[in-house]
Amino acid sequence: MLSRLKNLTKGKDPVPAPVVAHVPPAAKVDAYELGLMDAVLSGWFNQATNELYTGFRISPEDTVLDVGCGDGGNVHFCAMRGAKIIVADIDAEKIAATAERLKDTPARDVECHVTDGNPLPLADATATRVVSTEVIEHVDDPAQFLAELVRVGKPGALYLLSVPHPSSENLQKDIAAPQYFQKPNHIRVISEDQFKQMVSDSGLEVLSHSQYGFYWSLWMLLFWDAKVDLHNADHPLLNHWAEMWQMILASPRGPQLKQALDSAVAKSQVIIARKPLAE
């Protein structure tokens, strides 16, 4: 066969090798940046309306208290609006990092407290905006915790509260590391009705209840399987999921797909509430 091919090509111009265009590899999708973009699409960090979350507007006249401030992302948004900021967290390192993050913002003032919130080292009726996200599922006594949040809010103050949604928690329960559902992590799964009842029982008026975060629900599920460090979560499963979610959001019906999936399996549920005006 080889000799026949040689005879057939004898005296003819050699067949040129195919030209293969060099295609640079696609840039890796940053899972956390994508998560931030997904949060914005869900109603967080609205630069145009100055709403930290839909229905929770921040003004320079506000005093914003964030209990369980974490890395300070929420209060940074509020500080950029010129509000007075009060942060409280049980983790001294997080408080220090948040204080550093807020240093060059136009915040009217920044006040920091290392505390477990029982009680909060603040006077009654201090804040006009109270934020506590993904904290209630950790505390031993949610009623006592909420009572402290209510105590330090001014009459008419708005509250932004969130906890994990049971649809996501139930998805994780058979694959997550055991410590995920042990103290000091998630020691309770809170249903939608329970969350609304907790907030109502504390004396606050529930204004809205919403949910979001399918992207993070599935990311967390894959994270447990990938067995990587949360602070260096580089793994094909996680990377491909981030790429897929970016493609979904960019598709013609991306917003509709996101809304449907957020409704099906949400990472978090959010309540906006108000402290009644004094009678």
145-204: per-residue pLDDT in tens? 999 999 999 999 999 999 999 999 999 999 999 999 999 999 999 999 999 999 999 999
11-25: per-residue pLDDT in tens? 444 444 444 445 455
Adjacent-strand bridge partners of 119: none
Asked if residue 188 lies in contact with residue 243, where contact means CB atoms within 8 angstroms, the answer is no
- Determine whether 42 is exposed, middle or buried from the number of CB atoms within 10 Å of its CB (0-12, 13-18, 19+): buried
How far apart CA 247 and CA 59 sit, in angstroms, is 35
pTM, whole model, 2 decimals? 0.89
